[in-house]
Structure 1
Amino acid sequence: MVHNRYGHLQHHNFTYHEEDDPEIEIQRTITLWKMLPKFVAVGLFNPIPVARHALGIIDEETRQIVPKNEWNKMIWSSRFWLMGHSLIISSCSIFNTWLPVVYTIFARFYGAPLGRSLDLIQHIGMEVNVRDHRLCTRDVYLNPLTRFLYWNMNYHIEHHMFPAVPFHALPKLHEKIKNQLPQTYPGWLAAYREIIPTVLKQQKNPEYCFTPKLPEETA
């Protein structure tokens, strides 16, 4: 989708900048209970913005993100998206089976707990409004299968510093520059052992952020 592509570009340009990053999902005042729905993709499947774009309704947020010369492409891609989903839903009635929806539209929810738990590791609780990606982004080591499913996005500092590097080359890039990066978390649990206490501290002090230690020669 055109809107998502430009929104993600904005995320790369203003990573974890509270006023400019459209992909900040976890504000510093969020509670752990409000975090839980994020793990099952509740609220992520929202066709209303797509429907608005399909009707040619461009809100102010979209105007700030998507260039005007891309609006027509965004409108038509939204229409095709709605048309595709409508055909999938209609096929359930035609063939008298839920399988088309089960294998397509509902599929995003099956892998959501794993995918979302990894997505939340990327930035939550770290420094905000800074230009150094090492201070607002995490790297975490994962097993080969999870890395494959996640397209090596666990090397997320590298992805933000060098977004043109293809996903399959991120492990090699990590090996080349890891001595200039904060220590990589040894796994999923290690990252959350830091994230959860950080979120709890932010309930009492919204200004608190975790600041990773940088190598001395590059700090």
Structure 2
Amino acid sequence: MSDAIIQSELLDNKADKEQNLCQILSVQELSVLNDRSNSKGLVQLALHLTVMVCSGYLWGTNFGNWSLAIPALVIYGFSLASMFAPMHECVHRTAFANNRLNEAVAWFSGLLSFYNSTFFRRYHKWHHRYTRVPDKDPELTDLKPSNLGKYLLIISGLPWWQGKLSGHFQVATGQFDDFPFVPEAARAEVIRSTRWQLGIYVSAIAISILFGQPWFFLYWLLPLLIGQPILRFILLAEHTGCTLDANLLTNTRTTLTLWPVRFFMWNMPYHAEHHLYASIPFHALPKAHQQLSQHFTHIEPGYVKVNWDIITNS
């Protein structure tokens, strides 16, 4: 048996043992928290989309009135970018009790936020299985904020855009060498899903050109460019500066934040709770926080503090 295989098995065993140590809730307590709900998911989605539509309308109908248009653009852009959150929740199949609804909303949310849910499901499965384990967690390949320049580059969203453009192209053309987390049996589905998604973008661009209107730029590309830095500011806090091991009590951060952020992010600021028990749906995470918070190492009072700590410690 090769050293690489032995090392991989040791990492897997270590991850399994450390995750087993983190089983804090009783079966009954977890069963109550795990209750999924179509109605709660649909209400949350409807409210999210309502904010998106209203802010997008204000942005599109107030050019020249920049005191109203610019704030509307920021809200609209973040509501688009944060469609990552329902996609993430639906990939876990916890947003709704109905799995077909989870699948449909995940794909639609990914379309709006420039993720592909079919690909992300496989990527994210490895992230949860090997959270913060070097050479195993795919998130650890992302650029690190090791100095102020790299931090600002990450926050700008430019590396994210580069990664998404190259990643979507690689998948659409059947190149999976950089994506070992996508099993061979799932590749055809992932390719097909990505091609459909890219086809919709191309169609939207073509319609904009056909009518001589900058619709694609004004209502998708520009808002997402504006919204991504806010999302990066939030997502960077989830694991940065936490331990590089499989201990779920120390390798993930919960950030206590304002209600609007929790709303747009579908309670994902309760991220340590989510990683410890990924089966708990978004609407139960505040209650889970009350039961679990005392066990976590990293609970911070706001994203400004977390990002300031990241900058000063880089």
User: What's the TM-score bracket when you normalise by the shorter of the two chains?
Assistant: 0.7 to 0.9
Query: Is residue 2:162 matched to residue 1:68?
Result: no
Structure 1 residue identity aligned to 2:204: I
* Most deviating of 91-100 and 39-48: 39-48
Give the Å deviation of 1:54.
2.0
Query: Is residue 2:160 matched to residue 1:51?
Result: no
C-alpha distance 131-183 of structure 1, shift in aligned 2 (>3 A): closer
Give the Å deviation of 1:100.
2.8
RMSD: 1.7
Instruction: Show the counterpart of 1:175.
Output: 290
Structure 1 Cα separation of the partners of residues 301 and 151 of structure 2: 23
Structure 2 Cα separation of the partners of residues 150 and 179 of structure 1: 23
Instruction: Show the counterpart of 2:134.
Output: 18
Structure 2 Cα separation of the partners of residues 187 and 23 of structure 1: 22
2:132–2:246: 8 Å Cα contact kept in structure 1? Answer: no
Aligned mate of 2:278, from 148, 151, 163: 163
**Secondary structure in structure 2 of the residue aligned to 1:23:** helix
**Secondary structure in structure 2 of the residue aligned to 1:15:** coil
Instruction: Show the counterpart of 1:146.
Output: 261
Give the Å deviation of 1:196.
2.1
2:155–2:232: 8 Å Cα contact kept in structure 1? Answer: yes
Structure 1 Cα separation of the partners of residues 121 and 132 of structure 2: 17
Structure 2 Cα separation of the partners of residues 104 and 191 of structure 1: 29
Structure 1 Cα separation of the partners of residues 308 and 121 of structure 2: 32
**Aligned sequence identity (%):** 26
2:249–2:295: 8 Å Cα contact kept in structure 1? Answer: no
Query: Is residue 2:154 matched to residue 1:38?
Result: yes
Give the Å deviation of 1:26.
4.0
**Secondary structure in structure 2 of the residue aligned to 1:184:** strand
Instruction: Show the counterpart of 1:125.
Output: 241
Please list every run of 5 or more consecutive structure 1 residues that lacks an aligned counterpart in the other structure.
Answer: 200-219
Please list every run of 5 or more consecutive structure 2 residues that lacks an aligned counterpart in the other structure.
Answer: 1-115
Aligned mate of 1:190, from 288, 301, 305: 305
2:253–2:298: 8 Å Cα contact kept in structure 1? Answer: no
Give the Å deviation of 1:152.
1.1
Aligned mate of 1:92, from 181, 200, 208: 208
Structure 1 residue identity aligned to 2:165: P
TM-score when normalising by structure 1 = 0.82
Query: Is residue 2:222 matched to residue 1:106?
Result: yes
C-alpha distance 183-18 of structure 1, shift in aligned 2 (>3 A): closer
Report the count of equivalent residues: 195
